[in-house]
Amino acid sequence: MKREIPPNPPIVAASPGPGGTPQIRWQLERIVAELRTSREETHSIRRDGQAHRAPSRDALEGILNGLTEALFPRHYGRSDLDGENIDYFVGNTLSIALDSLFDQIHRGALFVGDELLPGFRREEAIELTRTFASQLPTIRGLLISDLRSAFVGDPAARNFPEILIDYPGMTAIIHHRLAHLLHGFGARLIARLMAEIAHAKTGIDIHPGASIGSGFFIDHGTGVVIGETAIIGENVRIYQAVTLGARHFPTDDNGNLIKGDARHPVVEDDVVIYAGATILGRIVIGRGSTIGGNVWLTQDVPPNSFVTQATVRSKVGAP
């Protein structure tokens, strides 16, 4: 078989390198120049003005870990904490996490030049972080309601600690509730990065803009997708591979996508959605309804309905 030769093979220098091994040259001068042309001219994606350093995913993962340890110090922090030292641990952990979060929020706003945060200054990043921190007790209360819902909804769950440290759905909702708060305050890039960290860990993709009520439980979880403008009520339970997505993407007169329009489902209180269901568009799933597995749904569902593949097919085929 004839061997293919690359169009620009590496150039081997005539003189040997250290230890007598031939030195290899990669034509870096040409490649670097072409990359500069692509970056600055041909394919530039930079906005005008000063370039700013991007937020760090590694730093944000450390922040999420720290915030989670502060919310649940004996489960995610240290098992040897007692009544005398637990508050010191929480305070120190929060201090480190919030200092880093402030820096990431500031960097994120400067990096994208977010129109929601024009002229964003260091002092504003501090105030946003302070406001976020003040909501952490409320977030913990919501997470306890999620924890209780998981315990009630899963017969395999034997205790709260098992759910808290082992269930991917619990990890995803912890990250989401923190990211959603930041998203609402305008720190959208930081919120999106936090959501993607959870996505990578759990296989559960929840946009930080999605609004989710108390007592939320994702069982198993892999492949769940919840879109930006979805609204989920209280005591909702969903299973793996459920999608709450958009049916179509509206455009303006020039054909550009319209950003931020409500395009994802509204799921009212006490709804159960079984594995593989795909629910698309700004439709309403009425309170107390059950959506069966693998259902494809693009129309409103009245309260207390039971929807299966068979009922959907019969409606589609009806005269």
Do 64 and 113 lie in one domain? The reply is yes
pLDDT of residue 2: 54
pLDDT of residue 148: 97
pLDDT of residue 82: 80
* pTM, entire model: 0.84
pLDDT, tens digit, for every residue of 169-192?
999 999 999 999 999 999 999 999
Helices (H) and strands (E) in the chain, counts: 9, 16
Q: Which domain holds residue 269?
A: 223-319
pLDDT, tens digit, for every residue of 114-158?
544 555 678 889 999 999 999 999 999 999 999 999 999 999 999
Residue 272 identity: V
Q: Kindly state the average pLDDT of the residues 67-87.
A: 86
**28 vs 52, more confident:** 28
Q: Kindly state the average pLDDT of the residues 191-212.
A: 97
Q: Which of 154, 172, 203 is the last residue of a domain?
A: 203
pLDDT of residue 91: 94
Q: Say how many domains are in the chain.
A: 2
pLDDT at 103 over 70: yes
Do 85 and 184 lie in one domain? The reply is yes
Do 191 and 245 lie in one domain? The reply is no
Do 257 and 176 lie in one domain? The reply is no
d(CA 19, CA 226): 57
Do 271 and 184 lie in one domain? The reply is no
Residue from 78, 142, 129 nearest 100 by CA:
129
Do 180 and 60 lie in one domain? The reply is yes
Find out whether 176 and 185 touch, Cβ atoms under 8 Å. Answer: no
Confidence label for 162 from pLDDT (cuts 50, 70 and 90): very high
Residue from 112, 97, 248 nearest 192 by CA:
112
What's the CATH code of the domain at 137? 1.10.3130.10
pLDDT of residue 116: 46
Separation of first and last alpha carbons in the chain = 63
